[in-house]
Every structure is written in structure tokens, then in C-alpha cells.
Structure 1
Amino acid sequence: MTENYLKKKVESIEVKNKSISQLLAEMAKTAFQGRKLGETVEVWEEMLKEKDLTIIMGLAGSLSTAGQWKIVNWLIKNRFIDVLVSTGANISEDIIEAMGSSYWQGSPAVDDVALLKTDINRYYDVYGLESDYRKMEEFLTDFIFTLDPDYPYSSMEFLYKLGKWLNEKGIKSIVAVAAEH
């Protein structure tokens, strides 16, 4: 009966003298999130080998505030993804950092009301200034006023125009890089 369950042995990893690529490949033979990371790399490599394949990346959560938006920019610039589907948070909150402001490592176990009293927003375990968020919103309002109020823009049109506008302003956010490529 155990043969139904005990099919693949977990293989512990020896780290010495290995490249990151080798370590990632071996992670697929471990467990928990290490295995998922290794399996993801395997799937990614197979996708990149395909000739006629459209790679769609789903981006959720607040990865931009977590310092990962430049990775997405790199993937777009280097044509590792063809389509990006994202939450609004990821394609707006990276603008804050691209404008020169910062995010800080924080704690998820903190009183949000107390934080806000000190002008701090919490994004799980990341902090950012509310005043920086407001500056980004005001900045985007300038873009909104460039649009024709009588034209029903699709999401794609809106984001493309936003990306072009951001590029003109020197803001190299995810939307700006996507508009270039």
C-alpha cells in the first residue's frame, strides 16, 4: 500500500560549487516552496523552448512595493513574457519608487491606525509614506487630464497611453517599459 504514496524521494541539496541554475534545478527534487520554485523553473525553461507560444504572466499582490518591479521590467525588455496581466497595485505602486521615493521593510504585526497617524501605509510587511502615495496619485491626475473625456478608452489603450506619457516624463515603471516593448 505504501508504494501508492512513496514514489519520489526528497533529495537534499549539496550547495558547494554549484551555479544558481544548478541549485534551482535541484530544488525541484526537494519539498515545500523550494520544490515549487524548482518546478516553476522547469516549466519556464520548457516554455522558452517553444517556438509559437505566447507567454502570459499574471502579477498579483503588491510585488512592486516588495522591490520586485524591476524584475518584471527586465522580463518585458528581454522578451521573456508576451502579455502581462496585473492588478492595479503593481502597475501604480512601482511609479512611486520610479519617481524617486522608497519603500521600507516592516512588519505585518503592527497597528495600521498608529502607522497612518505617522503618514505610513503598510503593504503586508512593507511600509511606504502616504504622502508619497498622494504625490503619485496627483502625478497620474496630470495624465488623466491629457485624455479625451468623450472617448471610451479600453484598458489596453489607457495603459499604453499612460506608458508613453510616463516614458516622456522619465518614469521607467512597468507600464512605461511595456509601452516601449
Structure 2
Amino acid sequence: MTSTELPQTLTGERADLLATLAQHRFFLRNTTRDLTDEQAGRRTTRSELCLGGLIKHVAHGERQWVSFILEGPSAMSKNGKEWADWTEEDYADYHNDFRMQPGETLAGVLADYERAAERTNQVLAALPSLDDDHPLPSAPWFEPGARWSARRALLHIIAETAQHSGHADIIRESLDGAKSMG
């Protein structure tokens, strides 16, 4: 099963949610069509964002949220540390997700994203219930004591993918005038 293929037996809410996610994944990947590795790593705005880095970030985030669905808040830690305990080094490493690193290729970044998407599709297709929930980890951007269901985490993955697809579209248009949907 690929990021755009869903099990034939999947229907209803899960099929709809995963089909929506597949559509946003397509738009994000489509922003990189016909680009070189150098172009995929180029910044075109004042931000640190580049197309390859955005795809790396979305793949990492998708993996992390799927792990949260399966394992709970411990999946959101870095080297066993919650966000509140991160060091400058942890944040610097996190920001590397937004950049193409030396030796990385667009093909490699896209293949990694495809693997993350396949895992998400498989886990969510097999999950007994989208109502299963876990407490969110402690972080300034989460409501204290909040819990998210698998459904809520999946909706977050969809929203993040859609938001970053829009960022990617702006970066691509700034790069060479191409548009994801134009």
C-alpha cells in the first residue's frame, strides 16, 4: 500500500480521513516535480524553509504522531526528554528537519516520506478504534491535561500536511514560478 493507495476494505470515516490526507500529501509532493536536489534545498524566502526540508519535517511529524497514537506521550520525547527540557542542541537538531543536509537528495527525502505515509496508512487502517486516546505531553502549546484521540492526532497530521503544502507552494512559486495547482 502506498501513500495514495488505501485497503479495498477500508470504508467510512477512516477511508475519508486517509483519502483527504493522501490528497494533501500529493499536493506537497507535487511541489517538487522536476526539481534538482539543489533547487529542493534552496531557500526562496526569509525563512529557513526549503521544499526538501518541508517534506522531511512533515515525514518526521507524521511518524511522531503515529507513534503517539500507538505509544502515548513518550513517543513525543527527544532522547527521553520532554519539550520543556530540550537543550539548544535539541532545538538545533529539530531545525535540521527543515533543511536539506549535505548528501541528502530529493529522491531520498521523497522515499522517506513515502515510507512514513505507508506506515500511517497501515497503522490507521488496522487500529481497533479512532477513539483510543492518550494524554498530550507537557508543552507550552498544548492545553495542560488535554488528551487526544487517534482521530484528533490524524486530523492534526492532515492539518499540518495541508498547511505545509501551502508553504511549499509559495516556496516553489518563488523558486521558478511553478504552482502546485496551476
Query: TM-score, normalised to structure 1's length?
Result: 0.27
Flag the structure with higher strand content: 1
Query: TM-score, normalised to structure 2's length?
Result: 0.27
Larger-Rg structure: 1
